[in-house]
Amino acid sequence: MPKSLTDKELENFKDKLLRQKEETWDEIMDDLKHDASEEYHDFLQMVCDQVDYALAELKEETVFSFIEHKYRELEKIEQALTRIESGAYGHCMDCGGWIGGARLEVMPAAVRCRKCQEELEKFDRVH
């Protein structure tokens, strides 16, 4: 298992991350555009008139969590890009261990090794 990435591999991951970043922004923009449509405003107005708040809440929550989810992805991508610049890319930000090329190949934005990520998710579920 190699302990560092070649410049070529780093370039490759950087390309992937930049593409992911663009795609994620596009998805957020699409979603915002969609929700700014007249149809949505009419829908919200109608729901408010009907005092059917639960439905509006549900809709708003769906939109919000989608965008929040996307923002989190963007944050991770930014973090990974920063780590490429600082030379820390490929190493776990929690334990400093090697993340592994195969894991980065699937998830270029991974900043933690599998073990630390699982710990974090366990923690997230409890809280």
**Residue numbers of the site for Zn ion (CB under 5 A)?**
92, 94-95, 97, 113, 116
Residue 55 CB, nearest approach to Zn ion (Å) = 43
Identify which of residues 44 and 84 has a Cβ nearer to Zn ion in the complex: 84
- Strand partners for 91: 98
Residue 98 CB, nearest approach to Zn ion (Å) = 9
87/62 Cα distance (integer angstroms): 37
Residue 32 CB, nearest approach to Zn ion (Å) = 35
Angstrom distances, CA of residue 42 to CA of 46, 65, 121:
6, 22, 39
Identify which of residues 14 and 114 has a Cβ nearer to Zn ion in the complex: 114
21/84 Cα distance (integer angstroms): 15
